[in-house]
Amino acid sequence: MESMADAQGEVERQAKAPADSSPDAAFLPLDSARWQLAMVWFPSCAVLFLILVAQSLGGAYGTQLQRAWGWALPTFLPTLALMTSVFAADALSVRTKSPAYVRRSFFGLAMGLSLFYLFTVFVSVGAQPFVGMVTAAPDMVVARLELLELSNMWLSPLQSMVVAALGVLFFLKEQKDKK
């Protein structure tokens, strides 16, 4: 019974708090959440890009580079483009007095999904040198490409979850001051 009274007291306290008061520890400024995610995505994708360049130059995909890059670019480029466009629009906007906040728990979900997805992409790309150990395919280039294409079976659903979480954080507008 006491916990219900405590919960009701918390609701009343929040209702009486001024609208522009800073949120409690359960919230994070939206701008900070976006930049923290970008600090994971951009360096990770830069490393992934460099690995793919090295594999391409090293002949891992033979003459089928277009097929390999056709698999790779959609795994990370749309997310980077979304982030870049939001940062560009934000760089040109007038700052509001009331920034938006996001629950830390939702930010943690978005970050966790991002990290897991990126890790899974790295595993898919990093497995390329070991394809010969697990398959007896006569053409290693085709075997490597088939492994990348097979990875879409698990990457596509994960990417959908990541895009859903990041979409909320990157399409959410800053709160406008009411006049």
The amino acid present at 106, given as its one-letter code, is: F
Q: Does the pLDDT at position 1 exceed 70?
A: no
Domain coordinates in residue numbering, the chain: 28-171
Decide: 130 and 60 in contact? Cβ < 8 Å: no
pLDDT grade, residue 19 (50/70/90)? very low
Quote the pTM value.
Answer: 0.78
Q: What is the identity of the amino acid at 19?
A: A
**Cα 176 from chain centroid?**
26
Q: How confident is the model at residue 173 (pLDDT cuts 50, 70, 90)?
A: low
pLDDT band, very low/low/confident/very high, at 110 (cuts 50, 70, 90) = very high
Q: Which run of H or of E encompasses 5?
A: helix 2-16
pLDDT class of 15 with cuts at 50, 70, 90: very low
Q: Which pLDDT tens digit goes with each residue over 42-100? A: 999 999 999 999 999 998 888 999 999 999 999 999 999 999 999 998 888 777 667 88
Could you tell me which residues are beta bridge partners of residue 102? 28
Amino acid at 88: A
> How far apart are alpha carbons 5 and 48 in whole angstroms?
52
| Type of residue found at 37 | L
CB 163 within 8 A of CB 91: no
